[in-house]
Structure 1
Amino acid sequence: MLEDMRIFATVVEHTSLNKAAERLNLSQPALSRRISRLEAELGVELFRRIGKRLELTAAGQLTYEFALELRRFHGSYLQKLNAFKSNEAVAVTIGASLTTLQTTLPWLITAMTAKHPELEIKAITGKSHEIASLVKERKIDFGLVGSTVEDDPSITSVPLFADHLMLVLPRAHYILERTHWEMADLNELPMILFTPGTWYRTLTDDLFRRNGVKPDIRMEIDSFEAIVRLLAASRAGTLLPKSYIRPQLLEDNDLYVVNVRGLERTKRTISLIHGDLAWFAPSVRYLIEETTAMFTRVSREPKTPS
């Protein structure tokens, strides 16, 4: 069908079978047979023959418009594909909020570079509103943030997956048999929390305030890895996003997760944000589309990206 539409569009644009046949390097009888076969397949007449001149029927005009759209779509596809066949490296700059930098970005970069070894990735970090500003200023190609941007028409937010907080404790200092906690049990619990100013810490503080909880905050650190490594030594617990918690991380640091009634209500949507896709090279537009599709596939599985 694609080849037939290409031939049909060429005939329309040359207004005669002779000129089109010459352009297509076909004999006129062979070209006539191709057009007749297409008309038979579609069940309509595409041309009225007026002497040596061809005139489109209404059905022919509709088919020509479709052929042009098909040509445009096919050209766009080949352009995107060629971006990954080229010997030149494809570069993309990603912005990540402080939390997604540690929870989501490593997984994404691993997946993208595994599929596209030639890809050059640059990452910029900041608070969610700073990442949104970088998107608007076209200083980054797209951003990963722990929220959506709904009040700015120049930014498109694509939800990727839902995340929520979970209580993590060191095995050596807490009774393992007690697997279900209430929010009130966090009162005066020694805790290490993330540095204030991020969506994650704001969510944590709002949670404590709503439930009247006052934990014993021992440290405030801007690294999940450092928090995890300090829990056992400090005999403290922490609240971590589900997307960061992996079985190997718990095993390596002798930690475990307990269910706390109410934490499931801390759900937060992790989003990809970008500006007008017309700004970008085809290869970058393709990466944005591919990234969205990648998270869509993973979100259908039991575990979120980690």
Structure 2
Amino acid sequence: MLEDMRLFAAIVEQRSLNKAADRLNLSQPALSRRLSRLEAELEVDLFRRIGKRLELTPAGKLTYEFALDLRRFHGDYLQKLNAFKSTEAPVATIGASLTTLQTTLPELITAMTGKHPNLEIKAVTGKSHEIATLVKERKVDFGIVASSVVDDPGITSLPLFDDHLILVLPRKHILLERTHLEMTDLNGLPMILFAPGTWYRTLTDELFRTYKLKPDVRMEIDSFEAIIRLLSACRAGTLLPKSYLREQVLADNDLYLVRIRELEETNRTTSLIHGDPAWLAPSTRYLIEETTAYFARRTGPGIE
């Protein structure tokens, strides 16, 4: 039952039979057969097919809740079992790109340690390709990067959520006297940008080249928090990942978000990457499942 619930939860969270099969190292027909066998055993339909999409039935929603409970109980059991294996607290080492460290990791660590108080989480930072190398060399348990690593057979990449750039201005900025802003308004705009070397800055520079924009770059800083704090004082704007911009951050610094269609098209997928599943410890596999479920709950349902 535990394995069946694990497969079923993966289908729900990956929103696709094909993606779930890839993640589980199964063929899509084999996974479909396992799902059919589970439905036959439970004597209910877990999904209804609407075109190319799968939608959970009421019985499917109940079963998914049970699968989450079962996974949590199993994870708690594994964590407690570790106490008999070692006198040390369980440790998870996560590799993260610098951007991810600032935008995604704090909330994830808070959620994980809140649920598992004895869990100790360590973080190793680097560029996405460096994190991928650490994953392959088993120097970190898994990585979270703002990209997918699809061209390396030694890496499994699980999409977590999509992100895009957004224009941030001080609430009293002169541009906000206008009702509508376009990409051309960034030309010559005083801006504070993230320091070069990350996917986020690369994406920003590509955007400027594409639209032939030359903003007035006043500062380049490798801290989102520092950028946020300096915007009002410098009367400057910036482009930041939407995932970083919490309501409280904006309110505390008297900032305003400006929606520009072209910026919303600067999509980037943040992914969890791990190595050969055969080498994953049960506790690591559980944390990976917990992480993917955490982001699935944040982004909401919708299964293809």
| Cα displacement (A) at 1:286 | 0.6
8 Å contact from structure 1 (residues 179, 258) kept in 2: no
Q: Which runs of 4+ in 1 moved over 6 A?
A: 76-79
Structure 2 matches for 1:279-298, cutoff 5 A? Answer: 279-298=279-298
Q: Deviations over 1:157-194 (max 9, x none)?
A: 00000000000001133353424311111000000000
- Measure, in 2, the Cα distance between the counterparts of 1:83 and 1:293: 18
Which letter maps to 1:176?
A: L
- Residue 110 of structure 2 aligns to which amino acid in structure 1? T
Return closer, same or farther for 1:202/1:175 CA change in 2, 3 Å cut-off: closer
Supply the AA of the counterpart residue of 1:245.
L
Q: Which amino acid aligns with 2:188?
A: E
The question of whether the paired residues in 2 share the 8 Å contact of 1:181 and 1:261 is answered with: no
**1:157, 1:247 → 2: CA distance?**
30
* TM-score between both structures, scaled by the size of structure 2: 0.71
Q: Which has the larger radius of gyration?
A: 1
- The answer as to 2:183 corresponding to 1:183 is yes
Gap runs ≥5 in structure 2: 3-40, 42-70
Give the 5 Å matches for 1:168-247: 168-247=168-247
SS at match of 1:188: coil
Q: Is the 8 A contact 1:91 1:119 kept in 2?
A: yes
What letter corresponds to residue 216 of structure 2 in structure 1? Answer: D
Residues of 2 paired with 1:77 and 1:253: CA distance?
38
Judge which range, 80-89 or 206-215, deviates more.
Answer: 80-89
Q: Indicate whether 1:120 and 2:115 are aligned.
A: no
2 CA distance for matches of 1:166 and 1:78?
40
- 1:259 is displaced (CA, Å) by 1.3
Letter paired with 1:256: Y
Partner of 1:264: 264
**Contact 1:179–1:259 (8 Å) recurs in 2:** no
The question of whether the paired residues in 2 share the 8 Å contact of 1:192 and 1:219 is answered with yes
Instruction: Show CA shifts across 1:234-289 (max 9, x none).
Output: 11000010000011101100110111231011010000000012212211111111
Secondary structure of 1:273's aligned partner: strand
Which residue in 2 is equivalent to 1:58? none
| Alpha-carbon distance in structure 2 between the residues aligned to 1:77 and 1:114 | 13
Letter in 2 for 1:93: T
1:101-155 CA distance string (max 9 Å, x none): 0000001101101111110100011111111111111100111111100110010
SS at match of 1:197: coil
Indicate if the aligned counterparts of 1:149 and 1:273 stay in contact, CA closer than 8 A. Answer: yes
Match of 1:99 in 2: 99
- Compute the TM-score of the two structures, normalised by the length of structure 1: 0.71
Contact kept in structure 2, 1:195 and 1:220, CA below 8 Å: yes
Distance 1:221 1:175 in 2: 23
SS of 2:181's partner is strand
Letter in 2 for 1:174: I
Q: Closer, same or farther in 2 for the Cα pair 1:101/1:77, shift >3 Å?
A: closer
In 2, are the aligned partners of 1:158 and 1:271 still within 8 Å (CA)? yes
Q: 1:21 is matched with which residue?
A: none
**Secondary structure, counterpart of 1:158 in structure 2:** strand
Identity across the alignment (%): 72
SS of the residue 1:124 aligns to:
strand
Compared CA separation, residues 78 and 213, structure 1 to 2 (3 A): closer
2:79 matches 1:84: yes
1:226 and 1:139 map into 2 onto residues whose CA distance is 31
Which consecutive unaligned segments of at least 5 residues does structure 1 have? Answer: 3-41, 43-75, 302-306
Equivalenced residues, count: 229
CA distance in 1, matches of 2:193, 2:300: 30
- The equivalent of 1:56 in structure 2 is none
In the alignment, what sits opposite 2:24? none
Distance apart, 1:227 and its partner CA: 0.3
Structure 2 residue matching 1:201: 3-state secondary structure: helix
**Kept after mapping to 2: 8 A contact 1:169/1:238:** yes
The residue type equivalent to 1:273 in the other structure is: I
Verify: 1:251 aligned to 2:251, yes or no.
Answer: yes
Structural RMSD (CA): 2.1
For 1:90, give the aligned amino acid: P
Pair 1:78–1:113, CA change in 2 (3 A): closer
Task: Summarize the alignment of residues 143-154 of structure 1 with structure 2, pairs less than 5 Å apart.
Answer: 143-154=143-154
Q: Which residue of 2 aligns with 1:73?
A: none
Kept after mapping to 2: 8 A contact 1:170/1:237: yes
